[in-house]
Amino acid sequence: MKPAASLSRRERQIMDILYQHGKSSATAVREAMPDAPGYSAVRAMLRVLEDKGHVRHQAEGLKYVYLPTVTRDKAKRSAVKHLLDTFFHNSPEQVVAALLDVSSTRMTRQELDRMTEMIEKAKKEGR
């Protein structure tokens, strides 16, 4: 599977829909898309996603349904690794600094406390 960064905006929308629903027909995907393109365009994007290895299809009755080939968690890890390698010179510290810079006014005290707990846990586990 290629990294999520190789996906177009519409392809990412489709993947989000598939992750939310688990599996969907092209019609259901199209109905869930904002400003949806035509049915044929959605089918073509699903075929491209299948060619890229992001989705697979299976027959259900007379229609195909599409499913992600990897779990959302695995896809998230792959996307974060790509982001880390591409923009932050493989430095988690730089990622956290950028996140805090961008999100500092939107992060709640509870979110910051949970992040602190995760860091403390990682320290104890000797990462």
- The model's pLDDT over 55-103, given as tens digits with 9 standing for 90+, comes to 999 999 999 999 999 888 888 888 888 888 889 999 988 988 888 888 7
- Angle formed by the axes of helices 72-87 and 9-21, to 10°? 150
**Tokens coding 56:** 């697979």
Residue 76 is predicted with a pLDDT of 84
Residue 2 is predicted with a pLDDT of 53
Contact, 90 vs 99, CB < 8 A? no
Higher pLDDT pick, 4 / 114: 114
Percentage of the residues of the chain whose pLDDT score is greater than 70: 94
Residue 69 is predicted with a pLDDT of 94
Q: Say whether pLDDT at 49 is over 90.
A: yes
Sheet holding 24-25, edge to edge: 24-25, 63-68, 55-60
Mean pLDDT of 17-42: 96
Mean pLDDT of 51-55: 94
Query: Which residue in the block uniquely carries the two structure tokens 């992040």?
Result: 115
Residue 82 is predicted with a pLDDT of 83
Domains of the chain: 4-68 (1.10.10.10), 88-124 (no CATH)
